[in-house]
Chain A
Amino acid sequence: MSSNILLFLTTFFASAVEAVEALTIVLAVGVVRGWRSTLIGVAAAGVVLAVVVAALGPALRHIPIDTLRFVVGALLLAFGIQWLRKAILRASGYKPLHDEGEAFARERRVAAEMPSESGGMDWYSFTVAFKGVLLEGLEVVFIVVTFGSTQGKLGLAAAAAAAAVVVVVAVGAVVRGPLERVPENTLKYAVGVLLTSFGVFWAGEGAGVDWPGSDLAILGIVAFLAAVSFALTGYLRRAPRPVVADA
């Protein structure tokens, strides 16, 4: 039960973060250059993502569960530790916070500078919307497929991701602007801890680890990695710092 809730929350929040980033790009291009080509780009990316899910989902069922958990756990670890590292560096002031308002203004500026094509398809809008939705969407697909297949709950993971996308798009449609007030950095911090914790748990199971407390061990791993992350953030906030260029 607790692992189901954690799975839903992790997939929901990770998908919400990616959806906010995709929405920022789509809104900036759509507002400046018009919606027709932008929305066709969004739809085309949606079709490609659906094909990827349709191809990956059934293929994963043929892989032995321990091998699948080991590989998925390893991927989640690599992926989660990147999120967590950046979140810790942002929370401690070593990296600038990710600002959707600034990202929106930048995309808007670039979109306005590109020459527009009269009549027919605006390929700039199409390409930017397509790439933005495809790249952010691939991260969502990766999380849904890995979480869903490893725990045998693809439907739950897909529902969490779909709910996140619906919520983000609905809020975006209401505010008609970038979702600046979403605490994206806090979400990334939490999702980084959760992805890394699930990665440790599944990779360990795949490698043959017999976790004390079985599934409940996930909660212990989450608590442990969260404590380490908070301690590291606190230490860095107090430490004297060199000037670091943003990566």
Chain B
Amino acid sequence: MVNLGFSIGDLQFKNPVLTASGTFGYGTEFEDFIDISRLGGIIVKGTTLEPREGNPYPRMAETPSGMLNAVGLQNKGMDYFEKSIYPHIKGYGTNVIVNVNGSRMEDYVALAERVSKLKYIPAIELNISCPNVKMGGMAFGTNEDSAREVTRAVRAVYPGKLIVKLSPNVTDIVAFARIAEEEGADSISLINTLLGMAVDAERMRPLLSTVTGGLSGPAVKPVALRMVWQVARAVKIPVIGIGGIMTASDALEFILAGASAIQVGTASFIDPAASVKILEGIEQYMMRKGFSDLKEITGRINNVNN
């Protein structure tokens, strides 16, 4: 048997395949396609205290090997999550993590406190990297002082496992990873989307209502991989790799570069079974290569002498 498990502190995950926030709904949307209990974890869609309508349509544009989105954190708010989603989470058979968002520091703190009262949510992912909201989001994740402040403030009220999701839209990603670690984060996930835009030359106007949006998909993978490698070498806490993972091979590249786990995002839009296929592919790779524990390959590229 191959051991694919990993842990964040004392929180165990049965395997390293998680689903990225905003690409997997509340999980139930995928029940026709896969057994979601096979996943290492599900990060549910970005949640805010109050419901949000998000940005006007159009909020998506296809780009070569990827897509831009400008959804703007549309969600039904924390009350809805508590009342309508949370009661079913016990039955999911996997770790369910809430992606926490806010416009102001107090929002993040208040939401983290609310989530801390939910017994079956063992961790939060602190989203300081959404590029599609006017206030908050990436504004926190691209300024070292505010990244530190918000991580510290949330850490003070949240006793569960704290994952900080980093924005790639910075000059020095390692600095932000170190700040998160210093302020007590239990794990770091990266990358959120890269800020981008698209223009319709015929109609002579932007393709997104917000002009700019977040780029995801295979187009961002090399950037994500580089950042994950840099961060994994710089911090001691587990790193979760995200960015253009479509196949098991993509996932393994992140793991070999130092990620303890990965998140499948945009791939689920094209193949709703992508996450489980990636899991199966990782397992097959381990067997083919004769490894019995995921830890044997985590960060392995750093051991190669050349």
Do A and B originate from a single complex? no
